[in-house]
């Protein structure tokens, strides 16, 4: 039997993945998107990109739980940059993405404030 060390946190060790480049992100900008159950376990994991709230939820889930292939297929670079400040992400996930892609911290909706 393997025991988990005291103080171990799954969240602190979750392997958040990133694409190689934001230029790889060519996903849709409108319409509906249905994702795999590794991103959303709902019976109907479909999101409408035409609803700002659903689009943010979709982007949060895909950034957090998607693979680089999911990121390339579902995410759009311009939408990701625009929505980045409003995405609901674990701190560690946000840090991983912002460390790899500093442009995420400079081009959000508040970049020109």
pLDDT tens column, 13-56: 666 899 999 999 999 999 999 999 999 888 899 999 999 999 99
Task: Report CA-CA distances (Å) from 40 to 8, 104, 109.
Answer: 25, 24, 26
Going by C-alpha positions, the residue among 91, 102, 85 that lies closest to residue 14 is: 91
CA gap 110, 26 in Å, rounded: 23
Can you give the residue ranges of every domain in the chain? 20-35+42-105
Helix, strand, or coil (residue 107): coil
For residues 62 and 17, the answer to whether their CB atoms sit within 8 Å is no
Q: Is the pLDDT of residue 109 over 60?
A: no
Which tokens go with 35?
């994702």
- The predicted model scores a pTM of 0.83
Q: Which pLDDT does position 24 carry in this prediction?
A: 97
Q: What is the mean pLDDT of residues 59-84?
A: 97
Q: Which pLDDT does position 71 carry in this prediction?
A: 97
Other Cβ atoms closer than 10 A to 5: 5
E-only strand ranges, the chain:
32-34, 46-48
CA gap 24, 11 in Å, rounded: 26
């Amino acid at each position: 039997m393997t025991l988990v060390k005291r103080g171990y946190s799954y969240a602190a060790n979750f392997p958040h993945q990133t694409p190689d480049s934001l230029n790889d992100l060519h996903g849709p900008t409108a319409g509906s998107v249905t994702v795999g159950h590794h991103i959303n376990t709902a019976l109907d994991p479909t999101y409408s990109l035409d609803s700002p709230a659903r689009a943010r939820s979709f982007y949060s889930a895909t950034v957090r739980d998607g693979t680089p292939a999911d990121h390339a297929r579902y995410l759009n670079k311009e939408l990701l940059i625009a929505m980045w400040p409003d995405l609901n992400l674990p701190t560690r996930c946000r840090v991983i993405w912002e460390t790899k892609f500093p442009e995420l911290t400079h081009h959000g909706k508040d970049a020109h404030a």
